Structure 1
Amino acid sequence: MTLIILIVIGALAFDFINGFHDTANAIATSVSTKALKPRHAILLAAVMNFIGAMTFTGVAKTVSKDIVDPFSLTNGTIVILAALIAAIVWNLLTWYYGIPSSSSHAIIGSIAGAAIAADGFSSLNYGGFIKILEALILSPILAFAVGYIVYSIFKIVFKNFNLTKTNRNFRYIQIATAALQSYSHGTNDAQKSMGIITMALLTSGTIQSDEVPLWVQIACAIAMGLGTSIGGWKIIKTVGGKIMKIRPINGVAADLTGAAIIFGATYIHLPVSTTHVISSGILGVGSAHRLKGVKWGTAQRMLVTWVITLPITAVLAGLIYLILNLVF
């Protein structure tokens, strides 16, 4: 029971950190264009994340059973606790340096690494694991393409409009798209912690099905909402200004792109990285706007972080599992 309590606390801490780490991406464009004041943007994101987290559970079920089989794990609760600690450490490290890395990559890599340390590579549910990896890889590519197309359409439609007036009008629209993107973030990211707690309850025999208990859903939604209220200024600065100079019309195109891709993934019960999706959407919009206007150095640094997150968190979780296994 002690391990279960530690896992619940760890999962809620991960969700809280995810709130100020990943949600910053959802409101970064609206803050950078001054469509919303930072305080208002964070309040809006906190509320919409909570609502989004309470709406769906399909992604949670995927996380709870598609990476590893919770019923066949040796020391399953220790595996999950090790995964949470590794993911939290990586999230805090990348947040400190203002790098928009993926919480999804971190937790999925950590679960895989801890499970491998416990039971070897045979512990992975390869069908589900590969499906999740495909979603993580394809979603940012799709976001880049959709962002490019959406903004290209905007350029054609609003070609002869007054630029100043158009941007002023789009600043109001951006309030709605920021809310939509924050809601979509809640529908996908909060469910990862729900899935982890559900996995722990399954592993310990506390519950017998992968249905997410209501108290888990509410607790994770509250944790993410509180985390969002803290804010993630380092990430906002990177996403909102260091990829490209964002104007309201760019921000709307990027927000619509991010929300569409994340909603699509949630609908088919797949976890994706909101960080990857939103940042790639901005890159696509920036490329359509003016290729030279994109700060590719920042994009390259983000790409490197995305690539190394899975293996680093897997190794870290494996080491933490070995340490915890000696303690418990």
Structure 2
Amino acid sequence: MNFWTAVGELSTGPFVFLTVALLIALAFEFINGFHDTANAVTTVIYTRTLSATPAVVYSGLMNFAGALITVLFFGAAVAFSIVNLLPVDLLVDANSDASLVMVLALLIAGVIWNLGTWSVGLPVSSSHTLIGSILGVGIANGLWTRTGLAGVNWAKAGEVAAGLLLSPVLGFLAAAGLLLAMRRVFKEPKLYEPPEDGDRPPRWVRVVLLGTCGAVSFAHGSNDGQKGMGLLLLVLIGFMPVHYALNVNDPEMGVKVSTAAGAVREAYARYDTPVPAELDTDLKYIAERLRDQPDLSALAGTADADASGNRVNSRWEVRQAIFRTNRELKRVEKAPEAPEALRKELAAIRETRLAPAIEFVPIWVVVCTALALGIGTCVGYKRIVVTVAEKIGKSHLTYAQGAAAEAVAAATILAADVAHLPVSTTHVLSSGVAGTMAASGAGVQGGTCRKIFLAWVLTLPASAVLAGALFTLGRLVTG
């Protein structure tokens, strides 16, 4: 079932709320474009490699390409690290009012915090903002329903937090080290001096700076673009959970999943390892339910009765069984007591046949997110650019500092893509600039760095509190 068919089944109220939620989600990504990507164009503008207009257009195109190419050819694991922070069961099990409020609260909180910090020229992380908002509504929902803190996937939150906390430290140290290494290799003094009025960098330096700017922009699109896709998926799952439960784009997906369930049980038997009871139950259910369903779309709109006689949607039940199986296989893959060969075989089955059935991004979501990010890059960049270039260090940014900071930022973000972790372009590049300033002996402006550090520390809890408050207010209004 395609998007328009699914939307056609919604009543007027949910349709209006879905439209508003999608527009706010795209607005968040648009703001992300001019809030975060300003970091990428700072060096080419302040080293006079490019003037502002072609710089931001170039960066916008690279952001668009990064978001589009990465997902189409390498998957959207980062997007699902965002989706899985908030267990989607909450959106489905909650009543419709609670689901609507939950989605809208996290979206509005993210937009408010990003616009507020941008208005004062403070570079903060859209990643921190988004993740804080998701955690905020998850915690607030748990408190509202008196279920405790189960509304957050804390294991996934820990993984995400580790990436967000460590990447700025890595950016600072690596950029400082790279600048010191460059001093030993490239002896030209002009590289390490602030450009004078009217100066332009040598041709080869311009090529390097254009390359690093493009690399940061592409990497930002590949990582932050997926966060926007994850945000849109949360909206779609919240409003139309059944239609976005399973990947129906591959007509053979049902066969792949059902045979994968059998392959998992065979792998356990081959290594004389007992199948955990709950996993075995899910594997048997998947194999039985999909035995005669090569096309997963055939499950849409069907319903079975559970053990209590309640009507349940088969498509969502299959999705949940695959989700639990994926989660258990990931646990086994990390368990040192499991045979190494078994872990590798299970990982291959999970990544190629099970995960694609529930971790998918519709092409229109990919294109819309990439466009919002790319277009957003082209406006509103000046406030952040001035902060990064003029207010972090005590001297003007040099050619070598710009190249070192951006090269490290691009490498760090692309490495995070490989590790399936969201990281902050803002914090990696800002800390990289600070690292080059410290390494060059120019020093940093303590006041600005304290503000950036404070924003780094406060963004996640502040956006969580804001989202939680908006959720609570919404629940009070809707009853």
Normalising TM by the smaller chain, what interval? Answer: over 0.9
Q: Give yes or no for the alignment of 1:309 onto 2:459.
A: yes
Q: Who is 1:61 aligned against?
A: 80
CA displacement at 1:163 relative to structure 2? 2.5
Q: Does the CA-based 8 Å contact 1:239-1:279 persist in structure 2?
A: yes
Counting only pairs closer than 5 Å after superposition, residues 278-293 of structure 1 correspond to structure 2 as 278-290=429-441, 292-293=442-443
Q: Distance in 1 between matches of 2:229 and 2:360?
A: 10
Q: Does the CA-based 8 Å contact 2:191-2:400 persist in structure 1?
A: no
Counting only pairs closer than 5 Å after superposition, residues 193-272 of structure 1 correspond to structure 2 as 193-203=228-238, 204-205=240-241, 206-208=243-245, 209-244=358-393, 245-272=396-423
> How large is the RMSD of aligned CA atoms in angstroms?
1.7
Q: Distance in 1 between matches of 2:192 and 2:390?
A: 22
Q: Give yes or no for the alignment of 1:296 onto 2:452.
A: no
CA displacement at 1:272 relative to structure 2? 0.8
- Could you tell me which of 64, 67, 71 is aligned with 2:89? 71
Counting only pairs closer than 5 Å after superposition, residues 7-46 of structure 1 correspond to structure 2 as 7-46=21-60
CA displacement at 1:300 relative to structure 2? 1.2
Q: Who is 2:116 aligned against?
A: 93
- Could you tell me which of 136, 140, 144 is aligned with 2:168? 140
Question: Size of the alignment, in residue pairs?
Answer: 325
- Could you tell me which of 314, 323, 327 is aligned with 2:473? 323
Q: Who is 1:52 aligned against?
A: 66
Q: Distance in 2 between matches of 1:232 and 1:202?
A: 32
User: In 2 relative to 1, CA 267–327 (structure 1 residues): closer, same or farther, beyond 3 Å?
Assistant: same
CA displacement at 1:297 relative to structure 2? 2.1
Q: Distance in 2 between matches of 1:163 and 1:90?
A: 40
Unmatched tracts of structure 2, length 5 or more:
1-13, 144-148, 194-200, 246-357
CA displacement at 1:7 relative to structure 2? 1.8
Q: Which amino acid aligns with 2:31?
A: I
Residue by residue over 1:185-212, the C-alpha shift from the partner in whole angstroms, topping out at 9 and shown as x without a partner, is 1001111111011122223313012311
CA displacement at 1:78 relative to structure 2? 2.1
Q: Distance in 2 between matches of 1:272 and 1:153?
A: 25
Q: Give yes or no for the alignment of 1:189 onto 2:340.
A: no
**Displacement over 6 Å in runs of 4+:** none
Q: Distance in 2 between matches of 1:162 and 1:151?
A: 13
Q: Which has the larger radius of gyration?
A: 2
Q: Which amino acid aligns with 1:70?
A: V
Farther off after superposition, 67-76 or 298-307 = 67-76
CA displacement at 1:164 relative to structure 2? 6.2
Residue by residue over 1:64-86, the C-alpha shift from the partner in whole angstroms, topping out at 9 and shown as x without a partner, is 11x12112343334212101100
CA displacement at 1:12 relative to structure 2? 0.1
Q: Who is 2:309 aligned against?
A: none
Q: Which amino acid aligns with 2:185?
A: V
TM score, norm. by length of structure 2: 0.66
Q: Who is 2:103 aligned against?
A: 80
Q: Distance in 2 between matches of 1:82 and 1:32?
A: 38
Residue by residue over 1:229-284, the C-alpha shift from the partner in whole angstroms, topping out at 9 and shown as x without a partner, is 11410000001221122111111111101000011111111111111111011111
Q: Does the CA-based 8 Å contact 2:191-2:398 persist in structure 1?
A: no
Q: Which amino acid aligns with 2:48?
A: K
Counting only pairs closer than 5 Å after superposition, residues 112-151 of structure 1 correspond to structure 2 as 112-120=135-143, 121-151=149-179
Q: Does the CA-based 8 Å contact 1:91-1:106 persist in structure 2?
A: yes
Q: Which amino acid aligns with 2:44?
A: S
Q: Which amino acid aligns with 1:19?
A: G
CA displacement at 1:314 relative to structure 2? 0.7
* Structure with greater helix percent: 1
Q: Which amino acid aligns with 1:68?
A: L
Q: Distance in 2 between matches of 1:233 and 1:123?
A: 38
The percentage of counterpart residues that share the same residue type is 38
